[in-house]
Chain A
Amino acid sequence: MSAHANSRSSAAKNELALKWALGALLTIGGILVILPFVWMILSAFKPESEMQNIPPTFLPVKPTFENFKHLFTQLNFSVYLKNTLIIVVFSFVGLFLNAMAGFGFAKYKFKGGSVLFYLVLATMMIPGQVTMIPVYLILNEMHLTNTMTGIILPGLVGAFGIFLFRQFMQTIPDELLEATRLDGASEFRTFMQIVLPISKPILAVQGILAFIAGWNSFIWPLIIANDEKLYTLSVGLTLLKGQYGGNFALQMAGSTFMVIPIIVIFIIFQRHIIENFSISGMK
């Protein structure tokens, strides 16, 4: 009896030791993962001369905000920021259109409904590289190249978003919609006043993801915008890297300015984002 208890306690001890060892391993990996971010932030506050130090300093010796000021005074980061925010706002419009389409597919049986839905799903398999050139040509025909509309339109809606909204909205009971209709509400009002409020959980997750995607948008502005006035932060940063190749502190300040808001939002909402993937990732 006591021998049994002993072996059990030693097994528990082993288990604990293993936990500590794996925890240590995970910590080392974690430090390596965040090292680039730490280095970026610390470097952003160093004067340019300090960046050229060999060996490099870890903490800034003379911390400065000069680099960030430089971004907005001598460079056009205020313009890039404005454009990026415009794209973010429109990505919420795109979210709304996704939600509408998701509702249409979830709650109505109509002619061609399933065919159209498969058509939507099929667009997920088309690689961006194939559509890049023709989208540019199509926008050119519509006289929308080098315009904000042209930058926003190609990425406005997405099949994956429509799919997730449809999955969620299918769980809304039909009786609820029927009752609202009997009260004389139009279909659109039913959608706005009943369906959207119920869909808050998925709207929240999709909203966060839409914000992140909008903030990070790179490919379409890169291709569609010729004029620096239309550049987003990402495209502006590539321009900065090209023009100020040697100004590392300035580059780090630009990167920090792009990355920090996303990290903050991510940490605040991480549970929603991670759970969304846990649900949608495996279904």
Chain B
Amino acid sequence: MKGYSQSKAPYFFIAPALILLILFSLLPIVVALVISFTNMDLAGLADWSNISFVGLDNYVDVLADPVFGKSILNTLFYVVIGVPLILIGSLLVAIIVNFGGNRIFNAFRVIYYMPSVTNVVAVAVVWGLLYNPVFGLLNFLLDSVHLSAVPWLQDPIMAKISLIIMGAWRGIGLNMIIFIAALQGIPRSYYEAAQLDGAGNFKQLIHITLPMLRFAVFFVSITTMIGWLQFFEEPFIMTDGGPLDSTTSVALFIYHNGFQLSHFGYSAAGSFVLFFAIILVTLLQFKLQGKDTDL
């Protein structure tokens, strides 16, 4: 294929997908930005003349909204606990599977990965039952070893932790696969050299495996963090943000204001605050990663 093709063929091939992406991914960004400066609501939806420009009011209001503040704190809680939990959990499982290196150990990949492919609504319904204070399996198991019952979804702090446990259960598998792929990319000769020098398993892990996984750790922590920042389905189905908004995430706040209260403009402003937070966190991670490699 030399030089530029003069035919229309390439445009024909990319047009359908491109039009859909423009219509439902790029244009919406512009629309969201515009309506975040307006008082767009159901009345505005019915008749555009009801929409008026309100400047930065939505942003000022949403940042002053105590529920939004709470949802930001909750989301930070999810990130701060959830990211290390998934990172360490998936890394641990990946290292063990890779260390075992035989068919039996490989079979565990399938088991640990299974929660990632199953329907989030279905598993949230199942976990809701597991966490049930009266009929739930978890409190029954605790009771049978004479431990006191846990208010899984009733206590404001515990409810967040319960959602994180379920999120980690769903999130570990995919990241484990990424780590296993990275582990298999480390040249065997490094380990052979270390063994010749008399380094044990643990030393090899600290001095070869973990440093070699640096990029994978970076990748997983960014994607996991973005995932927690957008945490939505689990609190939506299991707690609907309760008790007392203690599990409301920013994403749930946006959905609630946008689709249950029809405050489109207000909700769009909230979504841009989230968008900026995601961009900021990602840039920060890149910066930290850059420093790390300089050392």
Contact = CB atoms under 8 A, between A and B. Distances in A.
B23 interface: yes
A196 interface: no
Most B CB within 10 A of own CB, among A156, A252, A281 = A281
Contacts of B259: 132-133, 136, 223
Interface in B253-282: 254-255, 258-259, 264, 267-268, 271-272, 274-275, 278
Nearest to A36: B126
Interface stretch (A59-67, A68-76, A110-118, A199-207): A110-118
Question: Would you call the interface of chain A mostly helix, strand, loop, or mixed?
Answer: helix
Contacts of A277: 174, 177-178, 181
A88 interface: no
Interface of chain B, main secondary structure = helix
Interface in A239-278: 241, 248, 251-252, 254-256, 258-259, 262-263, 266-267, 270, 273-274, 277-278
Nearest to B44: A137
B59 to A, nearest CB: 14
Contact of A282 (B5, B178, B272): B178
A55 B24 contact: no
B129 A252 contact: yes
Given A130-B275, A237-B121, A282-B182, A26 B12 contact: no
A138 B23 contact: yes
A113 B11 CA distance: 9
B267 A133 contact: yes
B234 to A, nearest CB: 12
Interface of A: 15, 18-19, 22-23, 25-26, 29-30, 33-37, 39-40, 43, 51-52, 54-56, 97-98, 100-101, 103-105, 107-111, 113, 116, 119-120, 122-123, 126-138, 140, 153-154, 156-157, 159, 162, 174, 187-188, 191, 212, 215-216, 218, 223, 233-235, 237-238, 241, 248, 251-252, 254-256, 258-259, 262-263, 266-267, 270, 273-274, 277-279, 281-282
